[in-house]
Amino acid sequence: MHPSSRQELQTLRDLIRYGVSRLNAAQVALGHGSDNAWDEAVYLTLHALHLPLDTLDPYIDARVLGEERDRVLDLIDRRVTERVPAAYLTNEAWLRGHRFYVDERVIVPRSPIAELLDEGLAPWVQDPFAVENVLDMCTGSGCLAILSALAFPHAHVDAVDLSPDALAVACRNVDDYALADRLDLHESNLFDGLPARQYDVIVCNPPYVNSGSMSALPQEYRHEPQLALAGGDDGMDLVRRILEAAPRFLAPEGVLVLEIGHERDFFEAAFPQLSPVWLDTEEASDQLLLLTREQLSL
């Protein structure tokens, strides 16, 4: 943008309108927190100006200083030219109203499992206060482990990841939420390095993207760790190992909640003997399933 043109953007409304136009013209890939250009432009603008992310109306016609305008435009320019998810530019992601630190060592938190944890996995978990042990497998940033600790206030939570880089991010988030006294992080190849414990709840958002889809991912997704996305030819490589081992780690009445994205057809082809409960949320259909220890032990 020509310097003289930048001067014409004088208010938040101007900056947001410009941001929407830039994002749409560049056809950026969304899906890392926003699903439309308006929300993305609003988020980047408010973040750059250090304004509350949930309070746009009082400020929308406020004029901005030149240095403030530059901060907003630089952030929008980076989003478009570098094709980096906004969360990596701002080092934060929001999930169900909770803020998490993120960088390119972890995928951007967006699991619909978080919505189920809002209700303590009801009705599948009848009493959230009675849950004693929870496992978050493939924890990444630690977001689901932390939300599990908040949903089940008397539970001990174990969070597992193979990546020491991811666990460093998770450790920062655990500290931010002051949960180190009941949330332990484990560097482990799935269940291999876990203590002998039976879990009332296991939540898992594993790598599940099949190889065909991996090769077609938009550039934004290529900034995320491949280790956290790629699930082999049919996306089920890690899922097979998780489902095989899970019964040994589930309490008698325990449940496993598993995210598989858009891979339901591959899941059903790989596990024709299983009849999971498919769990829908406001944002996802046919992407989450629930299995009991009894089902997995057959």
Max avg pLDDT among 217-221, 226-230, 249-253: 249-253
Amino acid sitting at position 13: R
pLDDT 10s digits, 66-109: 999 999 999 999 999 999 999 999 999 999 999 999 999 999 99
What's the pLDDT score for residue 240? 92
Between residues 235 and 123, the one the model is more confident about: 123
What's the pLDDT score for residue 195? 85
What's the pLDDT score for residue 213? 76
Structural domains in the chain plus CATH codes: 3-90 (1.10.8), 105-297 (3.40.50.150)
What's the pLDDT score for residue 2? 59
What's the pLDDT score for residue 29? 92
Q: What are phi and psi of 158, to 5 degrees?
A: -105, 135
pTM equals: 0.93
Bridge partners (DSSP) of residue 185 are: 159
What's the pLDDT score for residue 219? 83
What's the pLDDT score for residue 200? 98
Helix (H, G, I), strand (E, B) or coil at 59: helix
Please tell me what DSSP assigns to residue 95.
E
pLDDT 10s digits, 148-195: 999 999 999 999 999 999 999 999 999 999 999 999 999 999 999 898
pLDDT band at 209 (very low <50, low <70, confident <90, very high): confident
Burial class (CB in 10 A: 0-12, 13-18, 19+), 65: exposed
